[in-house]
Each structure stands twice: as C-alpha cells, then as structure tokens.
Amino acid sequence: MGVNGMSFGRGFMLIRNYVAEDRDAVVDLWLAVFPRSTGHNDPGTSIDRKMAADDGLFFVATDDVNVAGTVMAGYDGHRGWLYSVAVSLAFRRRGVGTRLVRHAESELTRRGCPKVNLQVIADNSEVVAFYQSLGFQVEERISMGKLTGE
C-alpha cells in the first residue's frame, strides 16, 4: 500500500509512505516551503503527531536519494483533508505536487472518503491556482481555528 512510481525526467520518482529515515529531510523541506508557519505547526511535532495517528496517510515523493515532496492526509469518516503538500524548489513544475495530491486523493477514496478539503493562505494565489488546476474550488466558508490547551 502507498507506493506509486512515475517517470521523472531522466530518472524515476517514487511516492511511498513516510518512514522515520525521512524525518530530517521532511523537516528541512517544511521549514523551507512553509516559512510563515506558526509555532503549533512545528515540523517535528507535526510528524510525531501524524505518526502517532498511525493511519498510513503520510506520503513522500523521492528520487531514491532526495525527498522531493510530501503530503499528509486525514480522514475522519466524514471529510478528507490534505495537509503539508510541499515540493522542494528543485523539483517544482515537474508534476510532483500533482502526483502527491492525486495519490492522497486515491488513498482517501479507497477508504470511502466522499470529499476532500484543504486550506490555503488567502494571499497565496500561485498555490490557489495550482489546486484549481486539479479541480478544487474556492468554497464560501469561513475557516475558524482554536489552539487547544491554552
């Protein structure tokens, strides 16, 4: 489960489940890709929490040497969510992000998920355009959040 290969320029890109050996590369990627992230989104803590959930919905794209991208998904039985879709600058515009999103969607669909949601920072028009190209639509909703334990 969770392995999907694709031709990639002169090489091969593999989408597979995250493993502990990916940790440093994923942390570095997220720090580079999500510079505006807030404290509760600390990469190491986020990885630990996701692995504790043990749901098999954390994927990396790799060329067998480098982690090129990530996606985490979640499914609560009602809606699926995509989180931490990140592609290294060195691998952008090569289909890595598209393949990661499609892979996560496929895994969610296989689990019976009827709809996938995601959140994008409102002024990130390039990322909004990327998701629109994959069929996502802006919905008239208000996103609300609350930090717990405070």
Q: List 72's β-bridge partners, or say none.
A: 58, 83
**Count of structural domains, the chain:** 1
Tell me: the pLDDT tens digits for 75-106? 999 999 999 999 999 999 999 999 999 999 99
| Structural domain includes residue 37 | yes
Residue 61: closest CA among 88, 81, 83, 41: 88
Tell me: the pLDDT tens digits for 47-78? 999 999 999 999 999 997 899 999 999 999 99
| Structural domain includes residue 69 | yes
| Structural domain includes residue 134 | no
Mean pLDDT of the chain: 89
| Structural domain includes residue 136 | no
Torsion of CA 109, 112, 116, 117, to 10 degrees: -150
CB of 13 within 8 A of CB of 96?
A: yes
Domain that holds residue 57: 4-115
**CATH number for the domain that contains residue 56:** 3.40.630.30
| Structural domain includes residue 120 | no
CA distances for 80 relative to 16, 55, 77, 104, 145, angstroms: 19, 12, 8, 10, 17
CB of 7 within 8 A of CB of 21?
A: no
Tell me: the pLDDT tens digits for 10-22? 457 899 999 999 9
Residue 87: closest CA among 60, 65, 64: 60
CB of 60 within 8 A of CB of 73?
A: no
